A and B are shown apart, each in its own frame.
Chain A
Amino acid sequence: MRRSLCTLTVIMFWMIAGVSGAVGLTADDLKPLAEDDFDAKSQAIDRVIASGNDVALRLLEALNKERVVATDDDTVLIQEGNTLKDPITNAPVSTAASEVQPIALNNSLRARVASALSGLRLQAPDRAVRARAIDALLHGPDPSLKAEIEAARSKELDPVLKNRLDQLWALTALQDPDPAKRLQAAQLIGQRKDPQMRGLLLPLLEKNKDGAYAESDPKVRAAAGDALKAMAFEQWQIEMVGTLFAGLSLGSILLLAALGLAITYGLIGVINMAHGEFLMIGAYATYLVQEFFRRNLAGALDWYPLAAVPVSFMAAAIAGFILERLVLRLLYGRPLETLLSTFGVSLVLIQTVRVVFGAQNVQVANPSWMSGGVAIMPNLILPFNRIAIMIFALLVVGTAALVLNRTRLGLFIRATTQNRRMAACCGIRTWKVDSYAFAFGAGIAGLGGCALSQIGNVGPDLGQSYIIDSFMAVVLGGVGQLAGTIVGAMGLGLVSKVIEPFWGAVLAKIAVLVLIVLFIQKRPRGLFALKGRSVEI
């Protein structure tokens, strides 16, 4: 409280000083600008700079753009297009543009004008002007403006601009002869933890050729060291959170892809190599819905994903139902042949899509509410579309869990998975359960495709890149277990993303594979293995 009062007093003082300085700038003060004597011009400019008010800002801006003109009787005016204005009142005057001469400046005066201008802009009443001036100085620092920066820093009230001004101040203060200021600057940088400022601190800790530190004061050196450590920690935190997010994001995609696979594999013991193509069907269904909205409901285009979700589910589910009835049904009990057949089906599906839609990727655009992202840390932006997919994956898993645990179909599916013959004896029509469960699994894959279309390319080969990884997730988690699939998919996503920065994506894939092969040595049936007599078949 007391501190803010103090600040307020200081600000008041500065405002009074600013107002009092503004008094006295008259048309006569400007007259020397129109004369030929550069010394007189220089003094006049000094007076303008010293006055430091709106008039000065206006005049210096005009000088900087070479728009200041003078009439024959040395009246200084500002030219804006074809109108001439009085610099002090900013009112148009009746003098014609043909009657005036531009005022000439030499290079040193021009430089003085430019630097004084940026100083004045730092305290301009318009926030946008101040922000531009600060940014310009941050990109090209000007040591001669130290006083102006300090003045502006103590006057600034906007927290964002104040923050940037502090940085600017630290930039100049690090070279200050006063060790106390250098110390303060180093501490300030340490508090701000802006990675861009790191380069400023590094030279402080280096030694010159003669063995002495570049920075003579040990306190400043210690502060710089602390600041660097704090920044490194911050950077590490950002990387950790980023990796975690990327891993969870990949994991939720794998989860959407693996969930259906786990259900069908657990139930029928069939590895469906065409599962990836159900993803693709879902993605293309999303594309078709988007095109339909674009043509017929352009106003509601932003909400097409809501319509695409049920459509992609149904499209993939119907394809799965047909596949199960026409092909897989005839091959039960011959898992390796089924594997080959479903591979053939996947080839046919890919080629069909290629013939119908072309081999090129199709464009599926994010709706506007899904583009952009939220910055939870400096330099770390989490895109909305990935967050949306995570939430979507959670919803899908929740729905699947509800269907499996709370509905009659789910009860039948679980019973058939555990003991097919006993379930049949209890009156469950297992062949029907198979069809519905297969369609359900395919539909979930379709939902996965709908989600994938929001973050990646949609092309005929879309599913191919996910089938192996999602199967690995199933293997890791244990077959026919919802919890296992979740843990498997998330674990796989996290592990891949943790390894990736060290070895690159390709070696990470190989490392994950080796890890899985080693993992199977210990837990041949996955993390969450079914127990009981029905397991070993």
Chain B
Amino acid sequence: MATATISLPKSLALPSRQPVLGPTAWRILAPAFFLILALVPICSMVVPESYPFHLSAYALTLVGKIMCYAIGALALDLVWGYCGILSLGHSLFFALGGYMMGMYLMRSIGLDGVYHSHLPDFMVFLDWKSLPWYWHGTDHFIYAAALVIIVPGLLAWLFGFFAFRSRVKGVYLSIITQALTFACMLLFYRNETGFGGNNGFTDFKRILGFPIAATGTRTGLFILTFVALAGSFLACRYIVTSKLGRVVMAVRDTESRLMFLGYSPLGYKLFVWTFSAILCGIAGALFVPQVGIINPSEMSPGNSIEMAISVAVGGRGTLFGPILGAFIVNGAKSFLTASLSDYWLFFLGAMFVVVPLWLPNGVVGVLRRLRGKK
């Protein structure tokens, strides 16, 4: 980059790198992390079902699912809160990662499907004789895991390259990402696309040889998701505290001024954007084995918007906020759709209006203000 060639006077030396987390944060978060890591297996597998501390399979799946959404919200916050790009297409990357994992899970059903065929059930149903080319090799977990990263990453890179190069930004970009997601959703609804059409993938039997519905496997997936969430948090934190992160925030605040200073924002935006998409893909890949189904409705623009509102509720521009927001929004969704299904959309809609109006910095902003007052 251009900055490297400018020799700075001694007095203007760059400020030292911000720590990834402050010492207090480490002291609180690290023990909490290990505590959860130790307690969850005990509560779900050792504690008998009649005890109040038992973690049921339902609770495990629900919290696991919300953690996946939290990773997605974290990824969205990285581009929205720190780079000023409001993507309404993150559900696409989420679902793509899910579909890649789903391909592996479908293949590992083996001969146990309804039709006892080597082909996935829906292909037998459509009378296909052989696997389409993009299904080859998906029976290897490593390859499928690589696809989880490559496919959303590549799509994001391509789209981002063309969009950022011509300096599409703001609401324009939001709408175009939404249109892309919408178009892809229609594409995946078609049977000919080869991803199971309307019904998507379901009826998984095992993952890496473990039966997928067993409590042990569920606990394992839960732990994995939790570690992934913690890892993503630290990775995002590392990015936003780095020099690159400071440039990215400058892009958010005044892109044109940054360009006058000699930076080209394209590379920075593209990196954050692609990284965010990959995170989202990983979240989707963890999501699918836990809920046991992936279909095109997961791509619907509504899901992207829910992700965005999670970020807004939690507080954008903070990394802890989106995680909190994902738990608040999805917790409320689970609660309200079960008891007052008619009113969930009213509540969601009201949140969209109320949060930007009265909670511009989200829950984290409120907490900060309260702490500041003390």
Contact = CB atoms under 8 A, between A and B. Distances in A.
Interface of A: 269, 271, 327, 330-331, 334-341, 343-348, 350-351, 355, 468, 471-472, 475, 506-507, 509-510, 513, 516-518, 520-521, 524, 536
Contact of A339 (B171, B349, B351, B360): B171
B167 interface: yes
A454 B180 CA distance: 29
Interface residues of B, number: 43
A182 B215 CA distance: 82
B261 interface: no
B116 interface: no
Contacts of A341: 352-353, 356-357
A506 B187 contact: yes
A290 to B, nearest CB: 27
A341 B353 CA distance: 5
Nearest to A507: B187
Q: Most chain-B Cβ atoms within 10 A of its Cβ — which of A327, A340, A507, A513?
A: A340
Given A518-B162, A520-B166, A520-B168, A331 B356 contact: yes
A343 B172 contact: no
A334 B316 CA distance: 14
Interface string B130-172: 0000000000000000000000000000010011011110111
B125 interface: no
Contacts of B174: 271, 336, 339
B290 to A, nearest CB: 27
Contacts of A506: 183, 186-187, 189-190
Nearest to B309: A340
Nearest to A517: B162
Interface stretch (B226-234, B318-326, B340-348, B363-371): B340-348
B96 interface: no
Contact of B349 (A334, A348, A510): A348
A237 B308 CA distance: 49
A524 B169 CA distance: 10
B345 A347 contact: yes
Given A348-B346, A348-B350, A524 B360 contact: no
Given A339-B174, A513-B183, A351 B356 contact: no
Given A330-B357, A506-B186, A468 B342 contact: no
A231 B19 CA distance: 78
23 contacts: A271-B171, A331-B357, A336-B86, A337-B356, A337-B360, A340-B305, A341-B353, A344-B350, A345-B353, A347-B348, A351-B342, A468-B178, A468-B179, A472-B175, A475-B172, A506-B183, A509-B183, A510-B183, A517-B176, A518-B162, A520-B166, A524-B168, A536-B256
Which of A345, A346, A471 is packed against the most chain B CB atoms within 10 Å? A471
A336 B166 contact: no
Q: 6 tightest CB-CB pairs across the interface, nearest first?
A: A344-B352, A348-B349, A347-B349, A337-B356, A351-B345, A344-B349
A510 B187 CA distance: 8
B81 to A, nearest CB: 11
Contacts of A337: 312, 356, 360
Contacts of B171: 269, 271, 335-336, 339
Interface in B88-125: none
Nearest to B80: A336
Contacts of A517: 159, 162-163, 176
B182 interface: yes
A469 to B, nearest CB: 8
Contacts, number: 109
Interface of B: 80, 84, 86, 159, 162-163, 165-168, 170-172, 174-176, 178-180, 182-184, 186-187, 189-190, 256, 305, 308-309, 312, 342, 345-346, 348-353, 356-357, 360
A516 B180 CA distance: 11
A468 B305 CA distance: 14
B183 A340 contact: no
A380 to B, nearest CB: 29
A327, A347, A355, A536 pick with most chain B CB within 10 angstroms: A347
Given A331-B357, A475-B175, A517-B163, A344 B351 contact: yes
B357 to A, nearest CB: 6
A250 to B, nearest CB: 16
B356 A340 contact: yes
A303 to B, nearest CB: 37
A339 B348 CA distance: 15
B353 A513 contact: no
A400 to B, nearest CB: 22
B342 A472 contact: no
A472 B177 CA distance: 12
B183 A344 contact: no
A327 B357 CA distance: 8
> Which of A335, A339, A472 has the most chain B CB within a 10 Å cutoff?
A339
Which of A327, A334, A335, A506 is most buried by chain B, counting CB atoms within 10 A of its CB?
A: A506
Contacts of A516: 176
A468 B302 CA distance: 13
Given A336-B171, A506-B186, A521 B166 contact: yes
Given A341-B352, A348-B349, 11 more contacts: A336-B80, A337-B312, A339-B171, A340-B312, A343-B352, A344-B348, A351-B345, A510-B186, A513-B180, A521-B162, A524-B167
A479 to B, nearest CB: 9
A334 B356 contact: yes
A471 B175 contact: yes
A484 to B, nearest CB: 15
Contact of B175 (A271, A350, A355, A510): A271
A349 to B, nearest CB: 8
A340 B308 contact: yes
Contacts of B349: 344-348, 351
A4 B48 CA distance: 105
Nearest to A474: B175
B346 A351 contact: yes
Contacts of A334: 356
A343 B305 contact: yes
Nearest to A465: B182
A340 B182 contact: no
Contacts of B182: 468, 509
Nearest to B176: A517
A330 B359 CA distance: 13
Contact of A336 (B159, B170, B180, B183): B170
Contacts of B352: 340-341, 343-345, 347
B333 to A, nearest CB: 13
Contacts of B348: 344, 347
Contacts of B353: 327, 341, 344-345, 348
A348 B347 CA distance: 8
Q: Kindly name the residue among B163, B168, B349, B350 whose own CB sees the greatest number of chain A CB atoms within 10 A.
A: B349
A476 to B, nearest CB: 12
